[in-house]
Structure 1
Amino acid sequence: MNDPHPDISRLAELLKSPDDLDKLPSLRAELTRKKAAIDGQLKLGLKEQLEITSNGMSSITSGQSIVAQIKEEMMKIDRLCSEAQGMIRDFPEVERLGIMQRNFAAVEEMKDAIEKFGPGLGELEELLREDDEDLEGQPNLLAIHAGLSELREVRERAMEQTKGVEGESGLELIDNLPLEGETTLRDFFARLDDVVDWFDEHVGAACINLIPLVQAGNNGLVVRLALVIEEEEKKDRQAKALQDAQREFQDVASRFKSINVGQRELRGYKKKFLQAIEASAAAQFEQVQQAFLDDPDKLEKACR
């Protein structure tokens, strides 16, 4: 059982005879020294904790101050822009001229992109056909991904610009404007979707066969696949951050055209990649399990 009076028991051990009373001064000195050492350690530990807490509070206060300053600066910019419109007498005309110039530049850029859209799709289809003949190597995977990313951005910009057109004229232009060979933008976009699905099939095949590819030492395709997944995941994070920022500062973002960029669709290649790996591993486990169930003696032989 535990001693209800451990201090008294300890003192009894130290003072077992009358001669031990002569040891009281030395015992007191020893206990005083130990107490001083413990107090010093406690003070040092308390000081370190206070410094850590103080630094943390300072960091929080500094962060709050920076956020407040950013918010204040954005409000100042918004206020200056509003005041500038009243200070310039011909501001509406200047603004219209600026909009016209930006529109002309955007139209010229979009025109060049659309002219290259069809040939670009043809090149990607040719590369995909080449990779169809070598699915275990897919040497054109990165080139196809770069070309598709560029064409997807062109389509996203085109669709975003149609939102700024009054009525349904923007969509009618995409559906009915004849291009080379009587092809319309809608036809190009539908063809792009087919090429994207084709590319995704190649990526999916590489994901499902990733374990055999690694076992076979096919490092080239594994690295190319990792670069594609990494790039798509990075763009998804950027798009998600931009969407969150637009929702957070919607009142300010609505006043600045440079902030109102097109919404990139989240493609989720990393999620699809992980799902493919899980499905492949599950299928292999199911196959192995079924093989051993058909012949349980194989397990014993395999463990020898």
Structure 2
Amino acid sequence: MTTEIQQYKNCTILKNNNDYQILWSRGKEVLNFPISQELAERVSKSDKDSLEVMFYCENHRWPKADELEDYNQSDTIIHRGNGFIVYETDGYYEIGFFKEIGGAMGPEVRYPISKELMDKAFESSRGAYEVMTYAETGRWPLKQDDIDRNYIRNHPEAVLLNIEDKRELFDVKEFKSLVQKAVSSKLKPTELDAIGTVDNHLELLLVDPLKWQEEIEAVHLELLQEKMNNYIYFLESKQYVERYGDKFDKKVIHITFQHSPSDNGLAFLAAVQKVLQPTDMSLKIELPE
């Protein structure tokens, strides 16, 4: 069932099959009356005819000659925005908009606002959204930067994506703390990634999934060294014996990188190899192709 809508200067006519309604507003008040097809057609003739029909519907009689001069006037000034209306009455302002309820358009809601908030609502669509939210809840909506900050605080690993942009969201101390948490969550310095035996030697697998980015390199190296030290301690303290025994030709720390290390990363690996050289442990390095 389709409703036809015809808007005129003073009112709106709704047609649903052979049923007609006339609607108009007076300040904050909305008036709505069923009318005949004949009256609906009369509305379309002129502004004066539409006012006469409106008067007739409201008062059940036709207006006298002078009764239309101030008819439908109101002390309320209506300021129409995109998706909202501001009603101004003697320096008092209200913002009105329609709330969606269950996927359908609900009734208009209105909240008092100041002149400054009215001006803000008309500056931009974002300003209107913020004013409507504040008027309804008493709280300003979060701006995108605030939303991003809260998300990263709850999911620190997100700081590693477009890290230069993320740096601008935080002060130095908090940014460093978030990077520490993010790198730690990816590298897991206190855990063994995998352990097993290959060709009569014990092999510990260490996986580094991180990109070598300048902004996080210091933390990356710090936590990689911590993880490497934990691997070495695991072997030195023979924590593997109960499960795997201790008869191995070699004990290998196999480190595989998903991204090519920086020069400082390569220097770190060279230093580790030098430390392990006089021991029964060795370092196997696997770089991406």
- TM-score w.r.t. structure 1 length? 0.24
Indicate the structure with greater strand content.
Answer: 2
Indicate the structure with greater helix content.
Answer: 1
- TM-score w.r.t. structure 2 length? 0.25
| Larger RCO (CA under 8 A, 6+ residues apart) | 1
